[in-house]
Amino acid sequence: MITVPANATLDTPQEAPAEPSTALDEAPAVLVLADGTVLRGVACGARGRVCGEVVFNTGMTGYQEVLTDPSYAGQLITFTYPELGNTGVNGEDLEADQAHARGCIVRQLAPRPSSWRCEETLDHWLSRQGVVGIRGVDTRALVRHLREGGSINGAIASDGTDPATLLREVLATPSMDGLNLAARVSTREPYTWNRTCTAPFDSRLQPGPVSPYRVVAIDFGIKRAILERLVAHGCAVTVLPADASLEQVLALEPEGVFLSNGPGDPAAVREGITLARDLLEQPQLPVFGICLGHQILGLALGGRSFKLGYGHRGLNHPCGSPGSVEITSQNHGFALNPDSLPAERVRITHRNLNDHTVAALELRHQPVFGIQYHPEASPGPHDADHHFARFAALMAERR
Ligand SMILES: NC(=O)CC[C@H](N)C(=O)O
């Protein structure tokens, strides 16, 4: 029997701090594709209606990194992982200052996130970011449809717009292909970057150089994780806008130049292709391109790009070179035509083992290489992080 002394004052129980509201929107929403397909669901994120290319990502983690990756600018992303938002949203796992995806299509939104890093619910963050979402969609059926018919334009509406009206809007919306989307997401002003990720995950890192390698990164939609990995591998980075000229780059006396990832059709990034062509005239200047940067290198070499059926967007894509396989993080809708690359200058070093498309290339006689996949991961496996060390080694050799 517990007795409480008469003079004891039992504090009145403090009101538990109000949990952030996790009540989900129950308003109807609809997804319409350009081929007339209609999928009904429930609103989440921002209310409204958006049009864009409907793509899918098969990753089981990393929804926050994907939604903020500028490479997804203008796209409506379907997540095949059946429940999203499990760990909420935090202020660190961002690849840019804002979400760049326009829409989010999910099977189920976790009603109550659970993570010590959670700062707000995904639903609330999507709403603040202006990303129009739809949940309760049969994402398996949708992804099978996209795989069979290819990526396609579509629209999400949670503002009561009827499917027929929405279809007319989709059909009236021009394709993004052929547009220079990199120019829209690139920085307007140069800036420097010297932070690495808070938890360097690569214990194999060699001690950095006495003075960091001077790297100029061209921002076609650069992911923050790439900047962090360059710094982790001993670089001090100056980021220039997508339309930087050779003179602006060389004025910074770079030891290496990085061509970044980014959205849209690589053939439309004309200033970037011109710059890459000029950089290739500097025979001893190390150049490293990732994803869009890799494609721009290939185009600058006289190669041609083409659009994949439904793209590669996920975290488990095997890419191989003789004797080795890397499990890679991928997000691209275009690829380089291997037969269009000049074999006397270019060696294709890696292929995507799912469909044999070009996954990486290097120049035979210059310190230049391109990676179609994402060695910075974020999200995804870290198998390919060594490509950053390879870039650093090319600069170290020239010191
Ligand atoms: N992540 C990227 O850099 C994407 C490159 C290009 N926009 C593509 O879709 O292929």
Cβ 262 under 6 angstroms from ligand 1: yes
Pocket test for ligand 1, best of 218, 260, 291, 299 (most atoms within 8 A of CB): 291
CB atoms within 10 A of CB 135: 23
Q: How far apart are CA 258 and CA 181, in angstroms?
A: 19
Average pLDDT over residues 60-70: 97
Q: Which residues contact 15 (CB under 8 A, 6 or more apart)?
A: none
The per-residue pLDDT for 201 is 54
Question: 196 pLDDT band (50/70/90 cuts)?
Answer: confident
Q: From atom 3 of ligand 1, which residue's Cα is the shortest distance away?
A: 261
What does DSSP say about strands 38-45 and 132-135: parallel, antiparallel, or unpaired? antiparallel
Is 291 a residue of the active site? yes
Above 70 in pLDDT, residue 9? no
Nearest 10 degrees: CA dihedral of 320, 152, 377, 122? -150
Above 50 in pLDDT, residue 3? no
Cβ 261 under 6 angstroms from ligand 1: yes
Average pLDDT over residues 248-275: 98
Q: What's the token pair of residue 236?
A: 């001090």
One-character DSSP codes across 82-140? SEE-TT-B-SSS-SSSS---SEEE-SEE-SS---TT--B-HHHHHHHHT-EEEES--HH
Question: 23 pLDDT band (50/70/90 cuts)?
Answer: confident
Partner residues linked to 363 by β-bridges:
346
What is the number of the ligand 1 atom nearest to the C-alpha of 305? Answer: 10
CB–CB of 216/251 below 8 Å? no
Task: Tell me the pLDDT tens digit for each residue of 204-238.
Answer: 566 678 899 999 999 999 999 999 999 999 999 99
Q: Which of 291, 294, 317, 362 is catalytic?
A: 291
**What are the binding residues for L-glutamine?**
71, 262, 264, 292, 295, 331, 333-334
Average pLDDT over residues 45-65: 97
> Which residue, chain included where needed, has tokens 């469909």?
355
CB–CB of 313/280 below 8 Å? no
Least confident among 173-177, 297-301, 351-355: 173-177
Name the nearest CA neighbour of 156 among 19, 60, 27.
27
CB–CB of 189/243 below 8 Å? no
Is 197 a residue of the active site? no
The per-residue pLDDT for 208 is 73
Above 50 in pLDDT, residue 10? no
Q: How far apart are CA 119 and CA 372, in angstroms?
A: 33
Cβ 292 under 6 angstroms from ligand 1: yes
Cβ 256 under 6 angstroms from ligand 1: no
Above 70 in pLDDT, residue 323? yes
The per-residue pLDDT for 2 is 41
Above 60 in pLDDT, residue 6? no
Q: What's the token pair of residue 302?
A: 């006289």
Up-side HSE of residue 395: CA atoms within 13 Å toward CB?
26
Above 80 in pLDDT, residue 38? yes
Can you give the pTM of this predicted structure? 0.93
Positions of E strands within 184-338: 191-193, 213-218, 235-240, 256-259, 287-290, 305-321, 324-336
Is 376 a residue of the active site? yes
Q: Which of 65, 95, 326, 376 is catalytic?
A: 376
One-character DSSP codes across 295-337? HHHHHHTT--EEEEEEEEEEEEEEEEETTEEEEEEEEEEEEE-
pLDDT averaged over the chain? 93
Task: Tell me the pLDDT tens digit for each residue of 71-91.
Answer: 999 999 999 999 999 999 999
Task: Tell me the pLDDT tens digit for each residue of 330-386.
Answer: 999 999 999 999 999 999 999 999 999 999 999 999 999 999 999 999 999 999 999
**What are the binding residues?**
71, 262, 264, 292, 295, 331, 333-334
